[in-house]
Amino acid sequence: MSRIDTIFFDWGGVIADDPGDDFLKDLLKRLGATDTQTQEIYDGYMRQFLRGEINEDAYWQMIREHYGLTVHENISDDFKNWRGLITNEAVFSLVDAARAEGIRPALLTNVIEPTYGVLDAAGYYAKFDAVIASCKVGYAKPQPEIYQLALDRLETTAERSLFIDDKQRNLDPAAAMGFRTILAENPAQIIEGVTRCIKGK
């Protein structure tokens, strides 16, 4: 088995404990969306937003027009309250641990524009050798294209890569390509799995 040279981390649910799905749905409900409307938005406009097919202004305007919801002009500020901005420091320390072993840490994450903005402004992305973000590259996990793009960006192969995500549906395409994978269940389990891979066990 080849030694890994790159670790791809997801953000929400891995580096940060909160995956963000509930936050995004709760935000829509606070704007007055019903459960049905929230699911429709999540399955429709949110998918486009996640892949950067529509920008933030277009996303909120579509919601205003299609559902008649009142979306305040400073809605982006609400994303500063996402608990996913709070890293799990024990898991986040794996980024430095990997680099100390000559392994490149990268982010491979599904993220919408306002969330990308607050994470970038907080300086988190500077910790990684590369950030493959769905809203910037036009693909989102579990689309196979985003995994290949990640490999190309880091000039590595699936066999030399580890990918950690909190959703099995996002791990399946990576595993099929040859990535080693870890399904993130809790911080201790993430740390144990990554540490074993770093040490080549």
Question: Which tens digit of pLDDT belongs to each residue from 109-161?
Answer: 999 999 999 999 999 999 999 999 999 999 999 999 999 999 999 999 999 99
Residue 45 is predicted with a pLDDT of: 93
Where is the domain boundary, 61, 81, 101? 81
- Choosing from 34, 66, 81, the residue where a domain stops is 81
Per the DSSP assignment, residues forming a β-bridge with 6 are 104, 161
| pLDDT number for residue 149 | 98
Give domain status of residue 1, yes or no. no
pLDDT score for 190? 97
What pLDDT does 66 receive? Answer: 94
101 and 60 share a domain? no
Q: Is residue 156 classed exposed, middle or buried when 0-12, 13-18 and 19+ CB atoms within 10 A define those classes?
A: middle
* Segment 149-200, tens digit of pLDDT: 999 999 999 999 999 999 999 999 999 999 999 999 999 999 999 999 888 7
Residues 10 and 76 both lie in one domain: no
Q: In this predicted structure, what is the pLDDT of residue 120?
A: 95
**Is the domain of 43 the same as that of 97?**
no
Q: For residue 161, how far is the Cα from the chain centroid?
A: 17
Structural domains counted in the chain: 2
Distances (CA, A) of 144 to 141, 173, 175: 7, 6, 11
Same domain flag for 132 and 101: yes
Q: Are residues 95 and 193 in the same domain?
A: yes
Domain-terminating residue out of 48, 64, 81: 81
Same domain? For 11 and 40 the reply is no
Distance CA(12)–CA(68), nearest Å, equals 30
Same domain, 60 and 90: no
Are 77 and 97 members of one domain? no
pLDDT tens, residue by residue, 49-63: 999 999 999 999 999
Q: What is the pLDDT of residue 52?
A: 96
* Tens-digit pLDDT profile for residues 28-46: 999 999 999 999 998 999 9
**Do 29 and 57 sit in the same domain of this protein?**
yes
pLDDT at 1: 65
Q: Which domain holds residue 38?
A: 21-81
In a domain, 46, yes or no: yes
pLDDT of amino acid 20: 87
Looking at residue 81, what is its pLDDT? 87
In this structure, the answer to whether residues 110 and 26 fall within a common structural domain is no
163 and 74 inside one domain: no
Could you tell me the CATH number of the domain that includes residue 161?
3.40.50.1000
Considering the domain architecture, whether residues 161 and 138 belong to the same structural domain is answered as yes
